[in-house]
Amino acid sequence: LQERFVAANPASRERFEAHARFMPGANSRSVLFYPPFPLTMARGEGAFLWDLDGHRYDDFIAEYTAGVYGHSAPEIREAVLDAMEGGINLTGHNLREGRLAQLICERFPQIERVRFTNSGTEANLMAITAALRFTGRSRIVVFSGGYHGGVLGFGAQPVPTTVPFDFLVLPYNDEASVREAFAREGQDIAAVLVEPMLGASGCIPGRPGFLQALRTLTTEAGALLIIDEVMTSRLAGHGLAAQHGITPDLCTLGKYIGGGMPFGAFGGRADVMALFDPRSGPLAHSGTFNNNVVTMAAGHAGLTRLFTPAAADALAARGSGMRERLNARCAEAGVALQFTGVGSVMNAHFVGGEILRPEDHAAVDARLRQLFFFHLLARGIYASPRGFIVLSLPLGDDAIARFEEAVADFLARYGHLLA
């Protein structure tokens, strides 16, 4: 399949080699690399992508969840163009940021006050900063496999976590180890930072009891609970924390909430966020593009005209249906392949048994993941090399059916390899 891939993609290969002379790895996003060379995409429309060699793909990555609107939603384009008519960088407070902030506070019940950033990474750095300052403590509890941004990853792949925080890394979905840590050093813990579903580490849902325990333990110890909803806020109308009935002290957002433009936000309790009020608080928070009108406009249009809470719930239901059908197919075939996740975001894993933390799927032969990836590509389906699969609004039932057929075909051809 790899040989076929190389033969079919001469233009992507040529560009990869040319661009590598200017960028190490020919790109600025490590997640987009896969051997022998990644496809260069030429354009997108709806839920389709075309690469440089002219192949069309069903887009099942959707910009790692930021692309919930697809590639060319007229409502988003209209909002962006309208914003640009009035000037791009206004160097002042502007109406669009106030409007988007209000919308976010009304949509996510845990957010009483919010501030914008340019990425989820920055949002998490600011939330951590707030927690350290608010509590006067030094330690942040995170989870093995957690991903909170380019400098805040706690998985197997080394990332440059050089920020000066004192992290305690605990196993995910393991209430007892958190309880133990709080008993031992609760007075030093400023916050617990957690994804309600581990995203980058394989779409592993947090168990309700685990997430609830984090809420209880942080409250008892006077620490803050920071829920990273950068990826998961799309999985239910009012976010995944609300779905679990959990109100964190702070929460971070990103991805689709900026309408597909660069975006991040952190928010939560008014008393904590008051740290950033220049009239009274000790902390400054700046960023040249934090309130840029293009993002603010695109975000507002997306949340009000396309991805309303009802639309979010409906997309989640489509994703859950797809995942259940895929899992039923795999169970019927008796193979070690399963699809984990919540709603419209999922991950394929070539192991049997329950997956509660990244260690549970780490032993997989990487060649199976590669085989699956190139099999899907050959059938016109663009999913992530690590098996990450994401739905978007314009992705039709016909595309979902093509995906399910591709999995059936995979099982027929290679099922014998999946012991």
Catalytic residue positions, numbered: 147, 228, 255
User: In sequence order, what are the beta bridge partners of 349?
Assistant: 338
Helices then strands, each counted (H, E), the chain: 13, 16
Q: How far is CA 342 from CA 31, 202, 233, 318, in A?
A: 21, 11, 11, 11
Looking at beta carbons only, is 97 or 229 nearer to ligand PMP? Answer: 229
Looking at beta carbons only, is 61 or 200 nearer to ligand PMP? Answer: 200
Site string for ligand PMP, 187-226 (x = CB under 6 A): --------x---xx--------------------------
In whole angstroms, what is the distance from residue 246 CA to residue 227 CA?
10
Looking at beta carbons only, is 239 or 264 nearer to ligand PMP? Answer: 264
Shortest distance (Å) from residue 258 CB to ligand PMP: 9
In whole angstroms, what is the distance from residue 60 CA to residue 254 CA?
19
234 binding ligand PMP? (CB under 6 A): no
Q: How far is CA 94 from CA 88, 113, 416, in A?
A: 11, 17, 60
Asked whether the beta carbons of 337 and 349 are under 8 A apart, the reply is yes
User: Under the phi-then-psi rule, with left for phi > 0, alpha for psi from -120 to 50, and beta for the rest, what region is 285?
Assistant: beta
Query: Which residues within the stretch 119-148 sit at the binding site for ligand PMP (CB under 6 A)?
Result: 119-121, 124, 147-148
343 binding ligand PMP? (CB under 6 A): no
Query: Which residues within the stretch 250-269 sit at the binding site for ligand PMP (CB under 6 A)?
Result: 254, 264
Shortest distance (Å) from residue 252 CB to ligand PMP: 7
List the structure tokens of 412: 């027929």
Report the residue from 51, 58, 228, 360 that binds ligand PMP according to the rule CB under 6 A.
Answer: 228
Contacts of 307 (CB under 8 A, 6+ apart): 68, 69, 234, 256, 315, 393
* Residue nearest to ligand PMP according to CB distances in the complex: 120
Looking at beta carbons only, is 9 or 243 nearer to ligand PMP? Answer: 243
Binding region for ligand PMP (CB under 6 A): 64, 119-121, 124, 147-150, 195, 199-200, 228, 230-231, 254, 264
